[in-house]
């Protein structure tokens, strides 16, 4: 790597963005399903 | 419209905005020269840490109010905020090592900031385990409130840990007395992400509070 080259760290960024999205979407689904059960029960 | 439905709409809107943040961060925000693309992990890691700390702060404040006023709504709110905080802590604790590996050369180090944020995650987990273990609602609320207040006490140490201890963790970029130490395009992306994660916190808590309210199981 030359001194001015930007380090190749894109893979870590992609992994972080995917992990964050998966956790937040999974929690959204969990809340949606629990809310649905409560809605039907009331 | 019920609280649950409003919470759902806010969450859906916030997730849409989060998609916008991803696009802005990936396409329209400049790449940092020394860290490369890994620096863009900041735009999800730092706001998730903010939301986790906001959640813990709200758990602590609601716990104090519960102990003074004995209003179960505060206990229910604290419980909702703790669960949501766990989700944001998980984002923080997974995206952090993904940044640290290429930049520090290690996934994890027992640095003051990292250790304290891990403690906060365990406090969220402990808070919920405690709630699950105590069957008497009045006792459960009181014990949980004490744990919630301990979590609130932890927050200033987390924020100031980068000043108080010798640490590898970068110092605050925005939440500090002086001007932000990043170019405006990066600061705008970061601040927008802060706003979206805060909105996501609000949407999640509204849903979780409504679920707790209807099941009478805070």
- Interval A12-28: pLDDT, tens: 999 999 999 999 999 99
Domain range spanning residue A37?
14-42
* Chain B residue with minimum CA distance to A22: B91
pLDDT, residue A39, reads 79
Number of H helices, E strands in chain B: 6, 0
Domain annotation covers residue A7: no
Q: Provide the domain count of chain A.
A: 1
Residues of B in contact with A31 (CB under 8 A): 7, 11, 204, 207-208, 211
Domain annotation covers residue B196: no
**Series of mean pLDDT values for 10-residue runs along chain B (218 residues):** 93 97 94 89 96 97 96 96 97 96 93 94 97 94 96 93 81 69 87 97 97 79
Of the candidates B152, B125, B147, the residue with the CA atom closest to the CA atom of residue B56: B152
Q: Backbone phi, then psi, for B36, in 5-degree steps?
A: 70, -150
Domain annotation covers residue A28: yes
Domain annotation covers residue B186: no
pLDDT, residue B164, reads 83
Domain annotation covers residue B209: no
pLDDT, residue B176, reads 67
Instruction: Answer for the pair B148, B124: CB distance below 8 angstroms, yes or no.
Output: no
Taking the C-alpha atoms of residue B138 and residue B121, their distance in angstroms, rounded to an integer, is: 25
pLDDT, residue B212, reads 92
pLDDT, residue B42, reads 95
Residues of A in contact with B218 (CB under 8 A): none
Domain annotation covers residue B157: yes
Domain annotation covers residue B193: no
- How is residue B23 written in tokens? 């696009």
Domain annotation covers residue A24: yes
User: Which of B22, B31, B214 is nearest residue A17 as measured by Cβ atoms?
Assistant: B22
Taking the C-alpha atoms of residue B127 and residue B37, their distance in angstroms, rounded to an integer, is: 36
Domain range spanning residue B129?
16-28+38-173
User: Which of A10, A15, A31 is nearest residue B207 as measured by Cβ atoms?
Assistant: A31
Domain annotation covers residue A5: no
Domain annotation covers residue A9: no
Q: Provide the domain count of chain B.
A: 1
Which residues on chain B place their C-beta less than 8 Å from a C-beta of chain A? 4, 7-8, 11, 15, 18, 22, 26, 31, 33-38, 40-41, 44-45, 48, 84, 87, 90-91, 94-95, 98-99, 101-103, 200, 204, 207-208, 210-211, 214-215
pTM of the model: 0.93
User: Which of A15, A20, A27 is nearest residue B204 as measured by Cβ atoms?
Assistant: A27
pLDDT, residue B217, reads 62
Q: What is the dihedral angle through the alpha carbons of B192, B49, B55, A42, rounded to the nearest 10 degrees?
A: 70
Domain annotation covers residue A34: yes
B98 forms bridges with which residues in the sheet? none
User: Which of B36, B87, B99 is nearest residue A8 as measured by Cβ atoms?
Assistant: B36
Measured in angstroms, the CA of B210 and the nearest CA of chain A are apart by 8
* Chain B residue with minimum CA distance to A16: B95
């Amino acid at each position: 790597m030359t001194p001015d080259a930007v380090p190749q760290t894109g893979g870590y960024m992609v992994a972080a963005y995917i992990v964050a999205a998966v956790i937040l979407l999974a929690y959204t689904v969990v809340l949606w399903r629990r809310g649905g059960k409560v809605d039907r029960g009331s | 419209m019920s609280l649950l439905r409003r919470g759902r709409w806010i969450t859906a809107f916030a997730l849409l905005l989060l998609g916008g943040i991803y696009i802005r961060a990936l396409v329209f925000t400049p790449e940092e020269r020394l860290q490369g693309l890994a620096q863009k992990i900041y735009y999800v890691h730092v706001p998730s840490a903010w939301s986790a700390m906001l959640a813990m702060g709200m758990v602590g404040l609601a716990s104090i109010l519960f102990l003074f006023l004995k209003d179960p709504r505060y206990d229910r709110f604290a419980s909702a905020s703790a669960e949501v905080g766990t989700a944001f802590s998980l984002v923080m604790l997974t995206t952090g090592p993904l940044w640290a590996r290429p930049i520090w050369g290690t996934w994890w180090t027992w640095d003051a900031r990292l250790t304290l944020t891990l403690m906060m995650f365990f406090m969220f987990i402990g808070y919920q385990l405690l709630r699950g273990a105590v069957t008497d609602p009045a006792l459960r609320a009181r014990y949980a409130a004490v744990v919630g207040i301990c979590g609130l006490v932890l927050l200033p140490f987390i924020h100031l840990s980068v000043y108080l201890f010798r640490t590898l963790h970068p110092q605050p970029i925005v939440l500090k007395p002086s001007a932000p130490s990043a170019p405006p395009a990066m600061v705008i992306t970061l601040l927008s992400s802060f706003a979206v994660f805060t909105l996501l916190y609000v949407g999640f808590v509204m849903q979780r509070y409504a679920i707790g309210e209807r099941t009478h199981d805070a």
